[in-house]
Every structure is written in C-alpha cells, then in structure tokens.
Amino acid sequence: MRRKAHFILAPIFCVIAVFVFAASAQSQGVLNLPPGPVSVVHGPWLGAILGGTIDITLSGVPVGYDVSDGTYVGWCSEDNFQPDAGPGLSTILYDSTDAPASLPLTYQGVPWPKVNYLLNHKLGTLQEIQAALWIIMDTDASSPTFPTTANVTAMVNDANTNGGGFIPSYGQIVAVLIYADGFGAYGASPDNFQDTLIEVQVPTMSGCTLTLGYWKTHSIYGPAPYDSTWACIGEDTPFYLSGKTYLEALSVPSSTGNAYYILARQFIAAKLNICSGTGTTAEVAAAMTWADSFFKTYLPSYDLKAVPALRKEVVSTAKLLDSYNNGEIGPGHCPED
C-alpha cells in the first residue's frame, strides 16, 4: 500500500510471516467475532471496487460468527509509507466497540466511537473519507494525495461533536480492526506494516417484541386469542418468592409503586419475548441475569427504599427491559392484535 506520494518508488511486494498479536479476542463489543486468527489478503491500494480505499478478503473464518469468508470494504488505519502485511497475514480480528483494554496497546487510545460514527456518516470521495479517518485516528501525516477538503473538515467536526459516545446499532457499520504490528512511525520496530480495518454491519435481530400489556391479555385466562408462548413458563408457575403466579405478578398494577413488581412485570414480558424466539442484546441478557438473581434473593415486601443503591438498580433494570419490550432497543416492536 503506497500513500505518501512525495517521490516515486518502484512497487514492492512483501510476502512475509507475521506473528499474531498475543491477546484474547474481544468479548464485550457489539459483534460476535472468532476468537482465533483468520487469514487476511489485501487488495490493491486505491483499486477497490466495494466502496473503500482497499478491498480486504478474509478466509479461514469458522461458521457461526458475524464475519465470514469473503471480501469486505476496507480502509487504511495509518497514513504512512508502509506496505501491507501479507499476503501471508494471519491475525486476530478486533471489534472496535470492545473495551479499550481488550484491544492491542497502540489501539487503546484511538477514539473508536468517533471512527464508527464517521463510517456511518460519510461525505465526499474515498480519498476524503480516508483522510478524515486518519485525522480522527490521529495517524494523519498530511499526505498531499489526500488534502483536508471542506468535506474532510465537515466529517471530522461532525464526528468530534456527535460521535463521542456512538455505538453502532442493528444494520449500522462497525470498524473491525485487522492487526498487523500496531500503530507507529514507518520503519520503527515493530511497526513495519500497515494496520487496516474493514466495515462489518451489525446483524439485524430476529423477531420483534411485545409489551407487558399484550402478554397480560393473551394468557390462557384472557380473551382469545391465546398466545402459546405462555406455555414456556406457564401462567400458574410460582414467581420466585413472591407468593404469586407469573400471571398474577404481571398483573400487579404499576400504580402500587412497588419497585419489586415494576421490575417483575417487565422481566416477565421480556422472558416471554425471548421465549418466543425474539433476539436480544448483551445488555438485555445481562439485565435478565441480574433480575433473576434479585428475585431469587428478595421478597416483594423487602423495603427497597431503605437501600437506595439497590432500589436504583432495580428501577434502572426495569427501565432497560421496558425499552426492550417496547422496541426501543433490540429488534423492534411487533404490531399488536
């Protein structure tokens, strides 16, 4: 890959062995990426056909992940005169939405939310998008081939203003990082090769969610039609330590102000949505696990107001599950009969 056109060099083709960065794969990002190394081949610089500055092909990807064997839109992470590692590159893929500590050391200071925001709010030409990426990633070397145009400035300003907390959602782009040997000055060991990234869409989720009001009125005791999803837990199954059934707990009016039942209602609705095959998020799954532990420990009569921190956690978990049941997060809301 050749970017800094200050002088002309004959093409150089590097076929070298590259050591895999010794770190565990990401576990908290929005994507499910393979934990082991995959093979990477970079196409010609500025010869891409998919919409980036370079086409990048993955192979050896196990099934069941959010990437697969195939060619992706790619971008260069470093604005310097470095060749691509490979074509014998075998490396870990890193989700840029993962916790910084899970990324290679020289990646940890990059404002990845802004990078992802920029990739989802592009303007102008490929060269302008690439230049804006280098500026946001603080690897820009002011290459005359990629000047800072009005579009570049607009993208950078937009990402700096609005991208600080950006997390890509369903169908949006996530930067997946292809580690070669880290960021640094050209020729500085170990930074002899270009690190790159590919665009990967967050998969859309299966199904759609229904509100607690729907589930309350579609039990075997309600008016027709009955929703058979209730069979996965049973309306008459005891709800933990409450002394009520699942349906009775779901039917407790929110006007009581009892935080236990505020959470229980949303928890039961979310459980039924998940039972129906509706997809969920890592955040919702964690909330369900927390709520399950809470209900195994506390009675409805427990004075949560005497423990403000716990009550705050109960209420915030209920709000999160309410957002899921109403389609504000997750795969979205179903039409209700």
User: Does the bond joining 190 to the residue before it have cis omega, within 30 degrees of 0?
Assistant: yes
Q: What is the pLDDT of residues 154-195, one digit of tens each?
A: 999 999 999 999 988 878 899 999 999 998 765 566 678 899
Q: Could you tell me how many residues make up the chain? A: 337
* 88 Cβ contact list (under 8 Å, min separation 6): 15, 16, 17, 18
The pLDDT of residue 17 is above 80 = no
What does the DSSP assignment read for 43-74? Answer: --TT--SSSSSEEEEEESPPSSSS--SEEEEE
Residue 270's closest CA among 223, 331, 224?
331
The pLDDT of residue 3 is above 50 = no
Three-class DSSP category at 215: helix
Instruction: Report, as an integer, the average pLDDT of 199-213.
Output: 90
Positions of E strands within the chain: 38-42, 54-59, 70-76, 89-91, 93-95, 173-178, 196-201
Q: Residue 185's pLDDT is what? A: 65
The pLDDT of residue 91 is above 60 = yes
The pLDDT of residue 238 is above 50 = yes
Range from 10-14, 42-46, 313-317 that averages highest in pLDDT = 313-317
Q: Residue 28's pLDDT is what? A: 64
d(CA 247, CA 249): 5
The residue with greater pLDDT, 309 or 142, is 309
237, HSE (Cβ side, Cα atoms, 13 Å): 12
Of the chain, the percentage scoring pLDDT greater than 70 comes to 89
* 310 Cβ contact list (under 8 Å, min separation 6): 304
Strand partners, 311: none
The pLDDT of residue 227 is above 70 = yes
C-beta of residue 235 within 8 angstroms of C-beta of residue 245: yes
Decide: pTM greater than 0.85: no
Three-class DSSP category at 200: strand
The pLDDT of residue 268 is above 50 = yes
